[in-house]
């Protein structure tokens, strides 16, 4: 299938076009669905398709746009990781025993993107229990990397990274403990962000049949995935903020502005990696620092050995 202009467009570009009336949400949703139907049989990124409700959501977004509503996600198609509860669709975490389980309500983050007008096309594949850097399970099978079908898209948010790389919408939601957002983003050449713990409430991103209660697990977060850093920020702004069942409505999210908006602002304008001499200079400085550290470690080790031998000598005299 030949990609259309919108296949790899970003969420910001789509939102601007929707606001200007240059395209409709239903057109964007239909284009993304056609892309999935044509390409995904080989990739297997979208394991749960929710196209009928996506088209209904797109029509509702168009109605809001016609009434003058605007927003960074309004009318924009996206996917979510299979581990998020989406009412009326399976949440299995890859467990065969849970293949028929369907939660009764959406995860909190899902509710927030829906309220912002995003159009959820479906859910993306995961490894069993979200516990691997690949994306295979006996319920949905294996997800392949769109750039090379013989390789993995990573995990555990590998279905989402593959969906982004294949052009199934500009945004997705994933989760991360030990790399499950970052590794698949790297494998598929897309963007992901592991937010500060508790910045995005994870309620409803729970194993099948586990109650969707407020609270969090150490190191475990949910976060945005996209094809650009700007789109990451837009999605994070929508899903971040306190869970009013847990942290109350008195807590208000007020993130400080970014310290820098480009590499030049952090002193990297002087680094020209196209200059062989500059590369050699950087290597020499790094090597010098490593050597200095090694000398320090060796000196410290020798001192510890001398002290240990002195202690052993004093102990021997005491025993005699």
Catalytic residue annotation: 81, 156, 180
Closest Cα to residue 192, out of 156, 226, 155, 236? 226
Helices assigned H by DSSP within the chain: 11-20, 25-43, 51-66, 108-115, 158-166, 182-188, 229-239, 276-319
Q: Sort residue 160 into left (φ over 0), alpha (ψ -120 to 50) or beta.
A: alpha
Question: What distance in Å separates the CA atoms of residue 120 and residue 252, rounded to the nearest whole number?
Answer: 27
Closest Cα to residue 46, out of 58, 57, 33? 33
Place of tokens 């990739």: 43
Place of tokens 């990297």: 268
CB burial of 187-223 (b: ≥16 within 10 Å; e: otherwise) equals bbebbbbbbeeebbbbbbbbebeeebeeebeeeebbb
Q: Is residue 145 helix, strand or coil?
A: strand
Burial of 157 (0-12, 13-18, 19+ CB in 10 A): buried
Sign of the Cα torsion 119, 121, 122, 126 reads: negative
Question: What distance in Å separates the CA atoms of residue 221 and residue 268, rounded to the nearest whole number?
Answer: 31
Angle between helices 11-20 and 25-43 (to 10 degrees): 150
Report which secondary-structure segment, H or E, holds 224: strand 221-226
């Amino acid at each position: 299938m030949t990609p259309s202009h919108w296949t790899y467009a970003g969420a910001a570009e789509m939102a601007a076009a929707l606001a200007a009336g240059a395209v409709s949400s239903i057109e964007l949703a239909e284009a993304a669905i056609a892309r999935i139907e044509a390409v995904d049989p080989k990739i297997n990124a979208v394991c749960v398709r929710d196209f009928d409700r996506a088209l209904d959501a797109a029509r509702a977004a168009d109605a809001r746009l016609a009434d003058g509503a605007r927003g960074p996600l309004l009318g924009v198609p996206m996917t979510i990781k299979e581990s998020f509860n989406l009412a009326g669709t399976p949440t299995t975490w890859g467990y065969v025993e849970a293949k028929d389980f369907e939660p009764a309500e959406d995860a909190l983050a899902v509710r927030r993107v829906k309220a912002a007008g995003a159009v959820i096309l479906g859910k993306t594949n995961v490894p069993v229990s979200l516990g691997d850097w690949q994306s295979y399970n006996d319920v949905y099978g294996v997800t392949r990397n769109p750039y090379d079908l013989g390789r993995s898209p990573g995990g555990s948010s590998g279905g989402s990274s593959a969906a982004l790389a294949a052009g199934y919408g500009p945004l997705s939601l994933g989760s991360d403990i030990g790399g499950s957002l970052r590794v698949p983003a790297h494998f598929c050449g897309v963007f992901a962000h592991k937010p500060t713990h508790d910045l995005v409430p994870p309620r409803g991103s729970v194993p099948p049949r586990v109650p969707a209660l407020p609270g969090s697990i150490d190191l475990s977060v949910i976060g945005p995935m996209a094809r650009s850093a700007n789109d990451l920020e837009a999605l994070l702004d929508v899903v971040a903020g306190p869970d009013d069942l847990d942290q109350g409505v008195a807590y208000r999210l007020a993130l400080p502005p970014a310290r820098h908006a480009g590499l030049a602002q952090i002193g990297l304008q002087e680094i020209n990696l196209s200059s062989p001499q500059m590369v050699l200079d950087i290597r020499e400085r790094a090597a010098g620092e490593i050597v200095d550290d090694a000398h320090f470690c060796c000196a410290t080790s020798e001192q510890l050995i001398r002290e240990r031998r002195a202690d052993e000598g004093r102990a021997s005299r005491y025993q005699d």
